[in-house]
Structure 1
Amino acid sequence: MPKKTKKKIRGHKTSQPIFLRLVIGFLLVIGFGFIFMIFFNPLVWRLDLRAELNRSRMASTIYDRDGGEIATLYSKTRLWAPIGQVPPSLVNAFIATEDYRFYQHKGIDVRGIGRALFRDILEGHKLQGGSTITQQLVKNLFLSQEKNIFRKIWEMAYAIRIEQQYTKPQILEFYLNSIYLGHGAWGVQAASEVYFGKPVQRLKISESALIAGLAKGPEYYSPYRNPKAALQRRNLVLKLMGQHGYLASDAIQQYSREPVHTLKEPGTTYVGAYFSDYVINELKRQTHYSESYLRGAGLKIYTTMNRTIQTQAERAINILPAEGPDHWEVIQPQGAIVVIDPTTGQILALVGGRHFSTAEPNRAFQIFRQPGSAIKPFVYTTALESGYTPEQQMIDHPLTITVNGELWRPQNYDNKYRGAITLRTALEQSVNTIAVQLVQRLGPSNVFQVAQRMGLTSLVSSGDLNDQG
């Protein structure tokens, strides 16, 4: 009996090393597979990342009526800032905050990954990221934001290949022009205009620190949405700059005491942002090309925008008294302006809100509103086609009309009635009662048809609520 028991125990012991070896062997195979995919991935090595990155800079350009450049349409409309124009304080702020070993590693930072994993294990949840600036560039330009191990492997492989083909300053230039920094600002040049209303070359050290701090969470650390968090984040960036030798201790204290001085409201990245947005949408509609093609095909797009009028139109919207943000954090009231040359039909200026953002609609053409008195020229055109003349007279007097079973008493804007006046005068003074009488005589459907023929495509022709009466 003892011998039999001994044999059973011996058999159990010998099975443990075999299982352990299988597990270790499996892990080694997986590990070597990861290493191969990261460092020797044939799909990445065959790819000319230099050409791919340069293609990301290939973009169409929109020009105004005088041939002046409005915007360059990268994958996301942005203003490109050559690395030589970016102040050293801004570069240092990003490096100190996002990747302080940027000049030591070759695309991936093994020490940084290990340090991040160690901190995450200690805290019991994800606390630190291990992505280098080069990896972030890869994610911004080539990969999705999805988080999984396979995307991470591709990210590392691309990053190593980019480091082999580009210098550190070149990588920084691509990175600083591709990162999203909130309120529709892609890249540091746009961020400088949005938050401080000036070109990136003129940023102060404390302003550079604020912009660099936005990279971690542009919406949360926005000084407009969360000023306290923005201030704390800026001061943390200043502290990190000191830790990594970019700022002296007395400078950290000095800049940390400065209040955050941004524009009262987010600025516009460039004059004509809403106009450019309309142009892209109109080209998509007319050509049926995708937006990515229109942006990246290297097209020269000439428009009728008058830069002086566009600037004044944007200013007119921006100086409207603000009542504060609504529950969607959009400043109210909003507005829109479209300026058209009546002799040619050319659009000279177009503004769709206070501050351009891809997160908000372009109110100049994407939101339908009641046209108000703007519909009257179609009424008078129908009258002229029906035999009325500009000098023909009608009586401006109080009206009572039954509409859908209810009484309606249209009034003039000044609450005055002029008696007998010509149609020319009625149109010039936007007299409501004359326009209403004309629609009654001509018939709503006839006015509807004329408006459609003249290009008004948003009218509703049928249904319970329609524009034909």
Structure 2
Amino acid sequence: MADDQQNEPENNAAPDKKPPGPADKNWPRRLKRGFTFSFTTFLVLCVLGGVFLLYLRSQALPVTKVLQTSQIFDVNGALIDTLDSGQNRKIVPISDISVYVVKATLAIEDQNFYSHPGFDVKSIARAAIVNLKSMSKVQGAGTITQQLARNLYLNHDRTWTRKIKETVYAVQMEMQLTKDQILESYLNQIYYGHSTYGIEAASQLFFGKHAKDLSLAQSAMLVGVPKGPKFYSPYYNMENAMDRKNVVLQTMAKEGFITQQEADAAKQEKLTVQPLVEKKPSQAPYFRDYIKTLAVQKLGITEDQFEQGGLNIYTTLDLKAQKIAEEQMAKQLPKESEIQGALISLDPRTGYVKAMVGGKDYGANQFNRVFATTRQPGSSFKPFVYLTALQNGFTPLSTVRSEPTVFKYDEGRQSYTPRNYNDQYENADIDMRRAIAKSDNIFAVDTILKVGPQKVIDNARKFGITGDLKPLPSLALGTYPVSPYEMVAAFSALANQGVRVEPTAIIKIEDMAGSVLYQAAPKSERVADAAPAYVLTHMMESVFEEGGTGSRVAATIKRPVAGKTGTTDTDAWMVGYTPELATAVWVGYDKGRAINTAESHLASPIFAGYTEAVLEAIPPKLFPVPEGVTTVYIDPKSGKLANEDCTTGARNEAFLSGTEPKEYCTNRAAKGKGFGSGARSWWEDMKRWWNE
């Protein structure tokens, strides 16, 4: 019994101490099973991760709208205006960004940029520890790729959800874009304050130079600004900006992007920041608005794309001519008066719009009167009557008696009684040249009734006059409204020997990548034979000679010029041209208020001052004489060829070949070449010599 009790503890071992047995041999199996499970889980996670990455790779990045400043340039490449809409931005390729900017950005923002997959694990872990310790929201750890993803696709809420999305987008960007593409986009997106985005716009704002030309010190200062534009902008606090610049330089040296010697030298460099000025008023504002209208309504470019699509819009405007036009308008139109004016000028050879002034003060009123279709052209419409007459058998020597006349039309059922300006009549027979120079209304109405009003309308349509024209006698006196734009385009065809070139304001439009979205291809069309166009031009030169309605400005213009004045109760016009320039000027009141005598003469000095100033550096040029024209010396009293017996008042005159006079003013022919007919006169010889 004693022995049994003594041995009992051995037979009744503690429950937690199992004696070795067969079960202990299962641990390798359990270990293998655990390893298999772990490995399988790892493989599944890898597969799922791979599938997720493939999914991200296959998915397009969200559509983002990159706002970039569009720019408008004149015909010489000078900047007319930038269309920033509150955001000044100019995107450039990374090759056009200083290497110092790239190095400074990498040093201060993301030193591992070229090695990480879009996110930096070490930085995330470091930031997470800080966040857990402070129990704050997500902070820091943003790579350049993550910052770009946030700027492009997300808001700046400091939440875990936003941070996760940001990281996913960053990985997706890394799979679909190269590192250089990501860095380029980042440098074009970051904000520098003062409504300025991207390194190129910032470089222009702060230092007045392109981003590719920035020095090391300038680059360091600019790279330091985005951390806090209100705190580190030199415009707000130069001391802070300089301190931040030095931090950037020292970091660059520490991380091996530059040497310490380079950093020390850049710290000592004196930086001059450009004065911060408000945006200047747009140059040629009426023209700028017209360009926008063309792009949106005719070329199919949206308003947002036009203003914020980074477009480069190359136009035909000549800023020198534009400035002269604005100066002449301001000089002639009294500031204290409500009287308004408009000027548009074209190169008749190309159709290029050289200048456009739509009113006296754009700031006060943005209505562009160049396109106003409510203005009667008055006598400036008469050239289309006389061109039609020349095409239908009339000559410069065709005569009409200038006196008060009652005209019957519509088979005698109706009458029309025109009046000359101030009731002044020659009370004698006058020829077409005299009628044009004096703007005789009797001659014009008589002519339109003889050739037929509908023929005049048909001719005007060819020249681009689109208004509502009625086949009535009053048509000859310009009683139906047209716009200055239509008038200058029509007169340009006369200047271009009967060839109408479609008016052009935009030469081409390029997108931010330099691809051409639009290229102008102006249409040209012959709307009249060169010979009658020249004969009419030759007669219209007399408007600026003694006795002509434009003679008061003859001293201003020192070159051959043709044109026609026009005056109604409410409108004053001067439309004219040289071989290189056609211009229409209108003066009047917006509400149709009557103009006085002094105001009726304001259009001509604007035209003359503008034309001569624009062409000041260009030698005077005669209008070229085309084939089919014969120029002879005539005696206006008899309407015959002049000789030594009738030199008083004799003048040179151009005719369609075959319509010139054949008889002399007396029974003897002219001696030598001073007066005569034949194929060419001395005047024609001189013109041909001049043009050669």
Aligned to 1:148: 159
Alignment partner of 2:93 out of 82, 104, 124: 82
**Aligned-pair Cα RMSD in Å:** 5.6
Aligned to 2:245: 234
Aligned to 1:190: 201
Aligned to 2:496: none
Aligned to 1:105: 116
**Matching of residue 257 in structure 1 with residue 268 in structure 2:** yes
Per-residue deviation at 1:298? Answer: 9.2
Matches of 2:159 and 2:97, distance apart in 1: 34
Distance 1:206 1:341, change over 3 A: farther
Alignment partner of 2:125 out of 110, 114, 133: 114
Per-residue deviation at 1:245? Answer: 1.2
Within 5 Å, give how 1:12-411 maps onto structure 2.
40=52, 44-49=56-61, 62=72, 64-65=74-75, 78-120=89-131, 129-265=140-276, 291-294=303-306, 301=313, 303-306=315-318, 341-343=343-345
Q: Which moved more, 1:91-100 or 1:148-157?
A: 148-157
Distance 1:58 1:244, change over 3 A: same
Percent identity at matched positions?
32
> Secondary structure in 2 aligned to 1:450?
coil
Q: Which structure dedicates a bigger proportion of its chain to helix?
A: 1
Higher RCO (C-alpha under 8 Å, 6+ residues apart) = 1
CA offset digits 1:12-50 (Å, max 9, x no partner): xxxxxxxxxxxxxxxxxxxxx9xx99993898554223x
Which structure 1 residue ranges, 5 or more long, are not aligned?
1-32, 313-338, 351-363, 372-380, 391-424, 426-445, 452-469
Aligned to 1:450: 592
> Secondary structure in 2 aligned to 1:137?
helix
Q: Answer whether contact 1:63 1:303 (CA < 8 A) is retained.
A: yes
> Secondary structure in 2 aligned to 1:160?
helix
Per-residue deviation at 1:195? Answer: 0.9
Matches of 1:205 and 1:244, distance apart in 2: 16
Q: Answer whether contact 1:340 1:348 (CA < 8 A) is retained.
A: no
Amino acid at match of 2:241: A
Distance 1:199 1:117, change over 3 A: same
CA offset digits 1:44-67 (Å, max 9, x no partner): 554223x958x8599987554468
Q: Answer whether contact 1:87 1:201 (CA < 8 A) is retained.
A: yes
CA offset digits 1:43-95 (Å, max 9, x no partner): 8554223x958x85999875544688979989966333222232221101011
Matches of 1:220 and 1:39, distance apart in 2: 45
Per-residue deviation at 1:209? Answer: 0.3
The TM-score, its normalising length taken from structure 2, stands at: 0.37
Q: Answer whether contact 1:196 1:263 (CA < 8 A) is retained.
A: yes
> Secondary structure in 1 aligned to 2:92?
coil
Distance 1:272 1:89, change over 3 A: farther
Per-residue deviation at 1:231? Answer: 1.0
Distance 1:185 1:111, change over 3 A: same
Matches of 2:171 and 2:104, distance apart in 1: 23
Q: Answer whether contact 1:71 1:77 (CA < 8 A) is retained.
A: no
Per-residue deviation at 1:204? Answer: 0.9
Q: Answer whether contact 1:38 1:153 (CA < 8 A) is retained.
A: no
Distance 1:299 1:235, change over 3 A: closer
Amino acid at match of 2:250: K
> Secondary structure in 2 aligned to 1:178?
coil
Distance 1:273 1:168, change over 3 A: farther
Q: Answer whether contact 2:103 2:257 (CA < 8 A) is retained.
A: yes
Within 5 Å, give how 1:416-431 maps onto structure 2.
none
Aligned to 1:465: none
> Secondary structure in 2 aligned to 1:90?
helix
Q: Answer whether contact 1:71 1:276 (CA < 8 A) is retained.
A: no
Q: Answer whether contact 1:107 1:134 (CA < 8 A) is retained.
A: yes
Q: Which structure dedicates a bigger proportion of its chain to strand?
A: 2
Per-residue deviation at 1:171? Answer: 1.4
Aligned to 1:458: none
Q: Answer whether contact 1:341 1:347 (CA < 8 A) is retained.
A: no
Q: Answer whether contact 1:56 1:74 (CA < 8 A) is retained.
A: no
Distance 1:190 1:38, change over 3 A: farther
Distance 1:58 1:250, change over 3 A: closer
Per-residue deviation at 1:244? Answer: 1.3
State the aligned residue count: 319
Aligned to 2:22: none
Distance 1:64 1:206, change over 3 A: same
Matches of 1:272 and 1:102, distance apart in 2: 44
Q: Answer whether contact 1:195 1:262 (CA < 8 A) is retained.
A: yes
Q: Answer whether contact 2:118 2:174 (CA < 8 A) is retained.
A: yes
Q: Which moved more, 1:241-250 or 1:190-199?
A: 241-250
The TM-score, its normalising length taken from structure 1, stands at: 0.51
Distance 1:279 1:199, change over 3 A: farther
Distance 1:82 1:343, change over 3 A: closer
Q: Answer whether contact 1:98 1:132 (CA < 8 A) is retained.
A: yes
Per-residue deviation at 1:110? Answer: 2.0
Q: Answer whether contact 1:106 1:163 (CA < 8 A) is retained.
A: yes
Aligned to 1:411: none
Amino acid at match of 1:140: N
> Secondary structure in 1 aligned to 2:196?
coil
Structure 1 or 2, whichever has the larger Rg, is 2
Amino acid at match of 1:154: K
